[in-house]
Amino acid sequence: MSYAHLHLHTHYSLLDGANKIGSLMSHVAAAGMPAAAMTDHGNMFGTVDFYRAANAAGVKPIIGCEVYVAPRGRKEKSAVVSDDYERAGNNHLILLASNMEGYRNLSRLVSQSYIDGFYYKPRIDKELLREFNKGIICLSGCLAGELACAIGADRDDVARKVIEEYVQIFGDRYYLEIQDNHLEEQKKVNQYLIEIAPEVSIPLVATNDCHYLEHEDHEAHEVLLCVQTGKRLSDPARWQFGTDQLFVKDGATMLQAFEQTPEAIKTSLDIAERCNLELKFDEYHFPVYKTDDETPLDEQLKQKARAGLERRLERLAAHDPELDREAYRTRLELELQTIIDMAFAGYFLIVSDFIVHAKEKG
């Protein structure tokens, strides 16, 4: 049985991920995997590089992100823990764009995490997820996820509430994520999810939270974490993952690790089938100019440009009575037609708004 990695970090997970995209795609393609996801921490910086490299290698690219979910809302700028199951930091959650609508919503979520949710990390919250979830597939996350934290604290009531909340948001686009990283905490989480999955009718999906390419790369990854935290390898208190299993395992290795739950391997392929995002790089993608005026954008541009020209001609004519006004008008019409033929009217109207606003602000 084949397999698709859906929880995978590239070097765009800054000072955390050690997978260079080129070698990563060569590895994935050589392993015969049909698809792979990019889920970097809190950003989508690698989207274009990953998408192009995957296509070039014959691998379906899945664009995603491991987002940080603020436990008490993105507006709360505090790390105070109010309950035994809460983390001092943010909850991790895997989001995958299944189509263009999902990609736009994921981009919006990540952008908002920096604009109004940033507190040490770019953060979103469930309010944003409720608003921008269409086209997005959600995996419950690693040990730093809200669900795993509740399970680890033996809070079955909270775990069930978390599952219910995310099902309300994502419906059948929500999956319970299990991993095999040899950590005791993970084994506890896995067992709970395996037992509850049939009861709540939510599929299990196996992931590996890949941070580096090969098993032997874990030592180099430890060095990378030391660079991130400013610690030395000799420091016993330094931050470390506590496992050497976060490499890009092949399908056979994953199937062996989850031989008791082979359906979780198949689910990775099912999710990959659901993800069909196509990015086009040979087309213009301008923002939509929204206005209450029902006049077509081409006509709005003509009206503004012609009115602006006439104002300028009046000023010029005051100093040059012999001014050839028709020459200016003819040139304007030629330029307007060129802009309209290229479908740039909306772009020019947006730029006009920027300029007017800037002038008003001095």
Say what the pLDDT of residue 155 is: 96
**Interval 335-356: pLDDT, tens:** 999 999 999 999 999 999 999 9
Q: Looking at the predicted structure, is the pLDDT value of residue 85 above 70? A: no
4: closest CA among 38, 40, 35? 35
Q: Looking at the predicted structure, is the pLDDT value of residue 82 above 70? A: no
Where along the chain do the CATH 3.20.20.140 domains lie? 21-274
Say what the pLDDT of residue 284 is: 80
Say what the pLDDT of residue 87 is: 61
Say what the pLDDT of residue 323 is: 87
Q: Looking at the predicted structure, is the pLDDT value of residue 89 above 80? A: no
**Interval 213-246: pLDDT, tens:** 999 999 999 999 999 999 999 998 998 999 999 9
What is the CA angle 163-120-153, rounded to 5?
Answer: 35
Among 3.40.50.2000, 1.10.1240.10, 3.50.50.60, 3.20.20.140, what is the CATH number of 21-274?
3.20.20.140
Report residue 101's pLDDT band, with 50, 70 and 90 as the boundaries.
very high
17: closest CA among 9, 27, 28, 6? 9
- How many angstroms separate the first and last alpha carbons of the chain? 64
Separation of alpha carbons 187 and 208, rounded Å = 13
Q: Looking at the predicted structure, is the pLDDT value of residue 80 above 80? A: no
> What is the average pLDDT value for the chain, to the nearest integer?
95
Q: Looking at the predicted structure, is the pLDDT value of residue 290 above 90? A: no
Q: What is the mean pLDDT of residues 78-97?
A: 78
Complete DSSP assignment for 190-234? HHHHHHHHHHHT--EEEE--B-BSSGGGHHHHHHHHHHHHT--TT
Report residue 319's pLDDT band, with 50, 70 and 90 as the boundaries.
confident
Q: CB-based contacts of 287: which residues, under 8 Å, 6+ apart?
A: 346, 347, 350
CA dihedral 209, 211, 217, 221 (to 10 degrees): -120
Q: CB of 97 within 8 A of CB of 64?
A: yes
Report residue 27's pLDDT band, with 50, 70 and 90 as the boundaries.
very high
Say what the pLDDT of residue 84 is: 60
CB-CB neighbours of 305 under 10 Å: 17
Report residue 293's pLDDT band, with 50, 70 and 90 as the boundaries.
confident
- For residues 289 and 216, the model is more confident at 216
Query: DSSP 3-state assignment of 92?
Result: strand
**Interval 147-196: pLDDT, tens:** 999 999 999 999 999 999 999 999 999 999 999 999 999 999 999 999 99
Separation of alpha carbons 175 and 193, rounded Å = 10
Q: What is the mean pLDDT of residues 121-148?
A: 98
